[in-house]
Amino acid sequence: MIRICYLFTTIGSPLHQMLGIRMRLDIERHDEVKRKLRVLRVTFVDIAAELGCRSSFVTMVSQGHRRSERIEKAIADHLKLNPREIWPDRYPAK
């Protein structure tokens, strides 16, 4: 239940504060991801269609407003990278 709430709550929400969750917004990284996808002729709309979600959700995940391992993996797969390479702060070393 917490994981579901975590995926759909906004940054700074009481739930995030209660759980001590801090998400970093990184618009520069988001723009870099978009540029690299554009070179491959892939858009967030394309990724959203593949996953059956809204493109705005893909954008929010890329920007850091939301978390979704499924969307992060789809973006990384198109870029032929590991999600940890794109978002190292979201995937701490084990």
Confidence of residue 23 (pLDDT cuts 50, 70, 90): low
Phi and psi, residue 60, nearest 5°: -60, -35
For residue range 31-77, what is the model confidence (pLDDT) as tens digits?
A: 999 999 999 999 999 999 999 999 999 999 999 989 999 999 999 99
H-run or E-run covering 52? none
- The Cα–Cα gap between 57 and 34 comes to 14
Closest CA to 25 of 76, 68, 66: 66
The pLDDT value given to residue 18: 53
The pLDDT value given to residue 1: 37
Model pTM score: 0.73
Domain map of the chain by residue range? 25-94
Alpha-carbon 43 to chain mean position: 14
CATH of domain 25-94: 1.10.260.40
Q: What is the mean pLDDT of the chain?
A: 82
- 62: alpha, beta or left, given left = phi > 0 and alpha = psi -120 to 50? alpha
